[in-house]
């Protein structure tokens, strides 16, 4: 039976083919190390975000629901884009035609849901800060869940076009055949689709975020707190004429509002900066021929995308005491089992009791040291009593 190498060489002589391009050893090593590190940290961090919100009752707030949606979307990006890149840099495409369609679909699904989730929690923060009375009815956990479901349904349907646009491509070289996952249509047909994605899931979210965070900053950092916000911050009803609380709860609530707003603003800024290299590259390549495909710059763009999906849990840990304590508690529970629940300090962020599920903190955080579960049984009613 004739050797495959000889067959390829004979075909190459007929059609003047070139040798198979191979990635350098340096590129392979750096890609594998960076991708493994970033994806490993990102997958662990985003899983922890989902677990601490789902397993901790007082963490289930409208804002955190959107952060869970963002964490799940980032997990999809890391699993569908990051991990396949490790094998692709060494052995080209090994997942076949079905893998090409599904992985491409999941990549765009995760990317677009991330963008929509960021837009959703930006609007939620704007309503909660600038229209706090309406927020009691609009910013609820049930409404947040419905919005998140709508985001996933819309994005899932929108991304189905990639099942028809993606395809595997075989290229014959003198020393073998290379299979790649590419696009079915030509570059000229694909560019309008890309610009639609670019507008809907990058330009629009950043424009909305810039405007709304500007309005939020004017309320929180540049103007005195409105009276209705002061009443809520002090623990009183927005319908009451006076509040019996002191200025300390007011300052604590205002500080909490500022801190969560800063944290979410950092998430948006990182999204803008880390996606900018890739978005800029595609825009530039739309107007130049041949396109710019420097290997190391492409690697840099990919690492920025993976970093964007991995860095959010780190931001939460650094900027949110609630998440930091919840992460530590989750790690302790995983090491010591359920007994750890009775031996560690439990922190509660006291929330205003409202039938509409408002998530605005009304007092400073209280630290309750629980040595025995029978001695301390803190419920939501107890938390409401503390805020009275």
For the segment 180-220, what is each residue's pLDDT rounded down to a tens digit?
888 887 777 778 888 899 999 999 999 999 999 999 988 88
Please, what sign has the CA dihedral across residues 22, 23, 29, 34? negative
Asked whether the bond before 55 is cis by omega within 30 degrees of 0, the reply is: no
For the segment 13-63, what is each residue's pLDDT rounded down to a tens digit?
444 567 767 778 888 899 999 999 999 999 999 999 999 999 888 899 999
Question: If you search the block for the tokens 């009775």, which residue do you land on?
Answer: 342
Residue range 297-304: mean pLDDT, rounded: 94
Please, what sign has the CA dihedral across residues 47, 49, 382, 378? positive
Q: Which homologous superfamily is 4-387 in? A: Rhodopsin 7-helix transmembrane proteins (1.20.1070.10)
Angle between helices 321-336 and 25-55 (to 10 degrees): 90
Per domain, the residue ranges of the chain are 4-387
Query: Average pLDDT, whole number, for the chain?
Result: 77
Residue range 342-348: mean pLDDT, rounded: 39
- CA angle 113/55/263 to nearest 5° reads 50
Residues 6 or more apart whose Cβ sits within 8 Å of residue 92: 178, 179, 180
CA dihedral (133, 134, 135, 136) in degrees, to 10, reads 70
pTM for this structure? 0.77
For the segment 215-240, what is each residue's pLDDT rounded down to a tens digit?
998 888 775 555 444 444 433 333 33
- CA angle 364/367/368 to nearest 5° reads 135
In this prediction, residue 334 has a pLDDT band, given cuts at 50, 70 and 90, of low
**pLDDT for res 237:** 33
């Amino acid at each position: 039976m004739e050797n495959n190498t000889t067959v390829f060489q004979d075909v190459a002589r007929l059609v003047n083919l070139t040798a198979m391009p191979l990635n350098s050893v340096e590129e392979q090593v750096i890609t594998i190390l960076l991708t493994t590190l970033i994806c490993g940290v990102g997958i662990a961090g985003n899983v922890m975000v989902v677990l601490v919100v789902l397993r901790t009752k007082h963490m289930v707030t409208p804002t955190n629901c959107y952060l869970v949606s963002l964490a799940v979307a980032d997990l999809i990006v890391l699993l569908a884009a990051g991990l396949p890149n490790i094998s692709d840099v060494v052995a080209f495409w090994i997942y076949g035609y079905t893998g090409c369609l599904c992985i491409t679909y999941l990549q765009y699904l995760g990317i677009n849901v991330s963008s929509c989730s960021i837009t959703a929690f930006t609007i939620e923060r704007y309503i909660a800060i600038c229209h706090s009375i309406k927020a009691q009815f609009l910013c609820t956990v049930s409404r947040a869940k419905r919005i998140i479901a709508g985001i996933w349904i819309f994005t899932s349907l929108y991304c189905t076009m990639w099942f028809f646009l993606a395809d595997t491509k075989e290229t014959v070289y003198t020393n073998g055949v290379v299979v790649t996952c590419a696009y079915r249509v030509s570059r000229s047909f694909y560019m309008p689709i890309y610009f639609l994605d670019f507008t809907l899931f990058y330009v629009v979210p950043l424009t909305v975020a810039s405007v709304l965070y500007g309005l939020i900053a004017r309320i929180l950092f540049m103007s005195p707190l409105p009276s209705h916000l002061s009443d809520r911050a002090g623990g009183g009803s927005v319908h009451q004429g006076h509040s019996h609380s002191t200025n300390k709860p007011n300052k604590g609530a205002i500080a909490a509002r500022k801190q969560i707003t800063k944290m979410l603003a950092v998430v948006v800024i990182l999204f803008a900066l880390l996606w900018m290299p890739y978005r800029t590259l595609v825009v530039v390549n739309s107007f130049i021929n041949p396109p710019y495909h420097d290997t190391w710059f492409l690697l840099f763009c990919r690492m920025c995308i993976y970093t964007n999906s991995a860095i959010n849990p780190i931001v939460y840990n650094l900027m949110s005491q609630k998440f930091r304590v919840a992460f530590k508690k989750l790690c302790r529970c995983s090491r010591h089992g359920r007994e750890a629940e009775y031996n560690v300090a439990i922190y509660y962020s006291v929330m205003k009791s409202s039938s509409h599920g408002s998530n605005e903190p009304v007092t400073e955080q209280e630290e309750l040291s629980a040595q025995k579960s029978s001695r301390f049984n803190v419920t939501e009613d107890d938390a409401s009593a503390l805020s009275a």
